[in-house]
């Protein structure tokens, strides 16, 4: 991969892999995240995107991200990626949430990560992942083709390739599928990003390999859910930021609305929702970054609790951000909807909060009342 233009990070990422311990990791995390932040700030300014009705901002943004090696952060160099750590990639996704990034960065990162679970090399292009819901199953047929329907696949229409998890007679396999070989019924999220139904009608993948031992669809959903949690938490940080700034500018009844106690208390509650989302998401990300296996109740709790709590925060926090902004925040011209609607949409991907709450509740009940506290206090 060549390093051109703004970013640098490809060789810095390579440098990083030499320093796996101590402060070097956190410093290099900052380098990777700072690089992403810089690209987002330069090429994904919310105001400019909001004014750009033709979507001309997308290509330069994607190009800069690609040149920086970010979409394939989680793919080792030998498989075509830049070999960043999970923690670094999670940091990038938090930043992507803060900027409400609407290109398939998270999806391509997740696809590359999924393919790496079966040691499949990643192509350098937009990718997405199927299935994107724990309720959908794709089947690997005896003849090596894949069948089934995956709904709500983010950015499927924009993707050149799809990383697929499919179950067959010999267990779980991971496959790389050319997007031209599937049928797509386009759909849109609340934020007007593509979220499509992908139909696999005896599709022949480019590559299929068995998943590593113990890897299954739940693992993919947990990883996807933590990614969405980080994005929601990031969007809430920005909603808090722009709401506080707006309240310090807007004058009503002859004073800044930030001086009204009712508004202050609403913003304090928004800060609480933002804080809860941030704490839950970063804790879950840290857990996955250090987990030996997904098949562990404590890991499961971290990941699904983050998805549940962040989704609840998207509703409560986003609602407050809109309330503080009044009518202006309800307009298409204002940037607030870029964050609020995306945060609400992200709730649906990789299992909604109600889906995971049921699964978590069942698991807690099966463990029994006296094993609940030991689970909560296990880390």
Q: Do the beta carbons of residue 259 and residue 210 sit within 8 Å?
A: no
Per-residue CA distances from 88 to 13, 28, 124, 210, 357 (Å): 10, 8, 19, 27, 28
Q: Report how far residue 152's alpha carbon sits from residue 365's, in angstroms, rounded to the nearest whole number.
A: 30
Task: Give me the least distance between CB of 72 and another protein, in Å please.
Answer: 25
Q: Does 135 bind another protein (CB under 8 A)?
A: no
Q: Does 348 bind another protein (CB under 8 A)?
A: no
Of 208, 282, 340, 345, the residue at the interface with another protein (CB under 8 A) is: 282
Stretch that binds another protein, among 3-11, 120-128, 145-153, 355-363 (CB under 8 A): 355-363
Q: Which is nearer to another protein, 99 or 337 (CB)?
A: 99
Task: Give me the least distance between CB of 48 and another protein, in Å please.
Answer: 19
Q: Does 143 bind another protein (CB under 8 A)?
A: no
Q: How many residues bind another protein (CB under 8 A)?
A: 58
Closest CA to 234 of 189, 193, 199, 277: 277
Of 70, 118, 175, 360, the residue at the interface with another protein (CB under 8 A) is: 360
DSSP secondary structure string for all residues of 167-197: EETTEEEEEEEEGGGSEEE--B-TTS-BEEE
Place of tokens 């499919």: 166
| Residues between 221 and 280 with contacts to another protein, criterion CB under 8 A | 237, 240-241, 244-245, 247-248, 258-259, 261, 263-265, 267-269, 271-276, 278-280
Q: Name the token pair of 232.
A: 């929601």
Closest CA to 173 of 133, 141, 132, 135: 141
Task: Give me the least distance between CB of 229 and another protein, in Å please.
Answer: 11
Question: Cα-atom radius of gyration of the chain, to the nearest Å?
Answer: 21
Taking each helix axis from N to C end, the angle separating 86-98 and 261-290, rounded to the nearest 10 degrees, works out to 160
Task: Give me the least distance between CB of 41 and another protein, in Å please.
Answer: 12
| Per-residue mark of binding to another protein, 28-67 (x: CB under 8 A) | ----------------------------------------
Closest CA to 152 of 92, 206, 194, 190: 194
Task: Give me the least distance between CB of 224 and another protein, in Å please.
Answer: 17
Q: Does 190 bind another protein (CB under 8 A)?
A: no
Q: Name the token pair of 314.
A: 């998207």
Q: Which is nearer to another protein, 132 or 267 (CB)?
A: 267
Q: Does 183 bind another protein (CB under 8 A)?
A: no
Q: Quick check: helix, strand or coil at residue 215?
A: coil
Stretch that binds another protein, among 48-56, 167-175, 182-190, 364-372 (CB under 8 A): 364-372
| Per-residue mark of binding to another protein, 62-101 (x: CB under 8 A) | ----------------------------------------
Which residues have C-beta within 8 Å of that of residue 269, sequence separation ≥ 6?
316, 320
Closest CA to 33 of 98, 92, 90: 92
Q: Which is nearer to another protein, 67 or 312 (CB)?
A: 312
Which residues have C-beta within 8 Å of that of residue 279, sequence separation ≥ 6?
none
Measured in degrees and rounded to the nearest 5, phi and psi for residue 201 equal -110, 90
First to last CA, the chain: 40
Stretch that binds another protein, among 37-45, 60-68, 119-127, 369-377 (CB under 8 A): 369-377
Per-residue CA distances from 139 to 11, 36, 78, 110, 348 (Å): 39, 36, 29, 20, 23
Stretch that binds another protein, among 7-15, 43-51, 194-202, 284-292 (CB under 8 A): 284-292
Q: Which residues bind another protein (CB under 8 A)?
A: 237, 240-241, 244-245, 247-248, 258-259, 261, 263-265, 267-269, 271-276, 278-280, 282-283, 285-287, 301-302, 304-306, 308-309, 312, 353-354, 356-362, 364-366, 368-370, 372-373, 376-377, 379
């Amino acid at each position: 991969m060549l390093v051109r233009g703004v970013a640098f990070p490809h060789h810095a990422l390579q440098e990083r892999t030499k320093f796996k311990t101590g402060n070097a990791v956190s410093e290099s995390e900052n380098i990777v995240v700072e690089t992403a932040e810089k690209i987002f700030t330069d090429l994904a300014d919310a105001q400019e995107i909001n004014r750009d009705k033709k979507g001309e901002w997308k290509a330069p943004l994607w190009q800069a991200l690609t040149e920086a090696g970010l979409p394939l952060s989680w793919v080792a160099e030998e498989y075509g990626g830049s070999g960043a750590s999970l923690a670094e990639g999670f940091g990038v996704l938090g930043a992507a949430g803060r900027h409400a990034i609407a290109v398939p960065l998270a999806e391509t990162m997740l696809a590359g990560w999924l393919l790496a679970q079966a040691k499949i090399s990643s192509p350098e292009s937009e990718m997405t992942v199927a299935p994107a819901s724990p309720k959908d199953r794709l089947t690997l047929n005896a003849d090596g083709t894949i069948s089934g329907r995956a709904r709500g696949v983010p950015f499927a229409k924009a993707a050149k390739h799809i990383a697929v998890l499919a179950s067959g007679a010999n267990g779980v396999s991971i496959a790389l599928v050319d997007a031209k070989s599937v049928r797509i019924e386009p759909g849109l999220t609340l934020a007007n990003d593509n979220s499509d139904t992908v139909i696999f009608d005896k599709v022949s993948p480019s590559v299929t390999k068995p998943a590593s031992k113990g890897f299954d669809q739940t693992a993919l959903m947990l990883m996807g859910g933590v990614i969405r949690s980080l994005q929601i938490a990031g969007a809430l940080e920005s909603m808090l930021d722009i709401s506080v700034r707006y309240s310090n500018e807007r004058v009503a009844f002859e004073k800044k609305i930030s001086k009204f106690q009712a508004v202050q208390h609403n913003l304090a509650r928004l800060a609480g929702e933002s804080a809860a989302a941030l704490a839950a998401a970063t804790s879950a990300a840290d857990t996955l970054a250090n987990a030996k296996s997904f098949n562990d109740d404590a890991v499961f709790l971290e990941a699904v609790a983050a998805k549940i709590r962040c989704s609840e925060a998207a509703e409560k926090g986003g609602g407050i951000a809109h309330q503080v902004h009044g009518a202006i925040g309800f307009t298409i011209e204002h940037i607030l909807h870029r964050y609020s609607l995306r945060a609400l949409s992200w709730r649906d991907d990789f299992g909604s909060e109600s889906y995971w709450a049921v699964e978590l509740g069942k698991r807690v009940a099966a463990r029994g009342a006296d094993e609940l506290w030991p689970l909560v206090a296990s880390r």
